[in-house]
Amino acid sequence: MQYLGKINCISALIFCITINTFLQSCSSTIDKATPEKEKYIITDSVYKTLRIDTIQTGQLINAITLTGQVDYNQDNEVKIFPMISGNLQGVKVALGDYVTKGEVLGKINSSEMAGYSKDLSTAQNNVAVTKKNSDATKEMAKSGLSSQLDVAAAQTAYDQAVSELNRAGKVLNINGGSTTGEYTIKAPISGFIVEKSVTNDMTIRTDNAADLFTISDLKNVWVWANVYESDIDKIHMGDDVDITTLSYPGKVYRGKVDKILNILDPTNKVMRVRIILANQNYELKPQMFASVTVTSKIDSAVIEIPSSALVFDNSQYFVLLYNSNADVEIKKVQIINTIGDKTYISSGVEPGDKIVASQALLIYGALNN
C-alpha cells in the first residue's frame, strides 16, 4: 500500500510539472504574438509639411448672422416725374439699360409746351411795343408834348413787359426750352434704368403720381439686414460686416454697419440695419438675398487658436499639443465661439503652448491607431 501511495504522488507531481510547462509555453507564445504598441513619432518629412503655432490670447469677437437684401443706394437714385401733360413718343430705352447724363429718354408732344412758346412770343412782342412807346414818350417830353407822368407810365409798362419776358423764358427753360411744342425727357444722371412705367404713344398727365423712369447709379449699393429683438443689443454702429450671396458663394463682401433704424417693422418685428458696399463690376443686383455676418469685439481676453487646429470626435473638440516629434498629446478643449479661421476656447490649453495647426486630423488618427 505504501508503495502504491508513492507511485500516485510521483504521478501527480509529474502531471503538475507538465501542466506548468504547458502554461508557460502558451504564455510565451501569446507574448510573442502581441508585441507592445509602438509610440507614434512624427517623421521629418511629415514635420516639414506641418504648421506649428504658439497659442496666444486675443480679444473675444462676437458674431451674429442675419438675413439681408441688396437695395439701390437711394442717395444716388433719381425718379423722373412728368412736368407737363401730353403724348409720349421716342422711347428707346428699356429696363436695365445704362444711360448717360443728358441722354434723351423720350419726348412728349404737349399743348402746354405750345402754350409756353406762345407766352414767350407774346412777351417778346410786348417788350418791343412798350420799348418803342417808351422811347417815343421820352422824345415827346423833350418837345413838351408829353408830361413826365406819361414818361414814367411808359417806362413802367416797358419794365413790366421785360419782367414778363424773363418769366416766360424761365418757364420755357424749366420745361426743356423747346419752342416746337415738344418736351424732351433727359437723363439727369448716369446710371441704370431700374424702373420704367411708360411706353410709346402713352398719354402722360401731371396729376399722375407715378414716375416715368427711375435711374440709379449702382457703383455702390445698400444692404439691409434684419435684426430680431433678441439680437438688438449685439449690433453697434461701425461693426464689421461680412456679406455673402447665393450668386457668388465663394466671395465675401466686407463693409461696416452704417445706419441703424431704431424702430421695429410692425409686420416682421425686426429692426433694420444698413451697410453700404462698393459694387465693382455691378455684381450685386438690387433685390438679391444676402447672408450678413456682423462681428463686434468684446472687452475680454481669451485663448485664441486657429480653427484648423481643431479636431471633432465623439461629440468633443480636441487639439494636438506639440512638445516634440516624439511627444504629441491629445488635449480636450472647450470652445466659446468660432469666427472664420479663429476659434476662442475657455479651457484645455494655455497661452504659450504649441499646437499642430495643420493636418491635425491626420496626426490625431495616427496617435489613436
Q: Would you say residue 29 has pLDDT above 50?
A: no
pLDDT for res 93: 93
Nearest to 262 by CA among 270, 252, 253, 254: 270
Q: Would you say residue 2 has pLDDT above 50?
A: no
The reply to whether 42-73+218-369 and 76-215 are identical in fold is no
Q: Where are the domains of the chain?
A: 42-73+218-369, 76-215
pLDDT for res 104: 92
Kindly calculate the radius of gyration of the chain based on its CA atoms and give it in whole angstroms: 45
Homologous superfamily of the 42-73+218-369 domain (CATH): Efflux pump adaptor protein, beta barrel domain (2.40.30.170)
Lowest mean pLDDT among 11-20, 194-203, 279-288, 300-309: 11-20
Dihedral angle over CA of 147, 152, 154, 157, nearest 10: -160
pLDDT for res 7: 47
Q: Would you say residue 297 has pLDDT above 80?
A: no
Report the alpha-carbon distance of residue 225 to residue 146 in Å, rounded.
Answer: 79
* Burial grade of 83 (CB within 10 A; 0-12, 13-18, 19 or more): middle
**pLDDT class for 32, splitting at 50, 70, 90?**
very low
- Chain segment 310-320, per-residue pLDDT in tens: 999 988 999 99
**pLDDT class for 46, splitting at 50, 70, 90?**
confident
**Fold adopted by 76-215:** OB fold (Dihydrolipoamide Acetyltransferase, E2P) (2.40.50)
Please state the pTM of the whole predicted model.
Answer: 0.60
**pLDDT class for 15, splitting at 50, 70, 90?**
low
The sign of the CA dihedral 186, 192, 197, 199 is positive
Q: Treating both helix axes as pointing N-terminal to C-terminal, what angle do 111-142 and 148-174 enclose, rounded to 10 degrees? A: 160
Find which of 116-120, 152-156, 274-278 is predicted with most confidence, using mean pLDDT. 274-278
Report the alpha-carbon distance of residue 95 to residue 93 in Å, rounded.
Answer: 7
pLDDT for res 187: 93
Nearest to 241 by CA among 227, 252, 232: 252
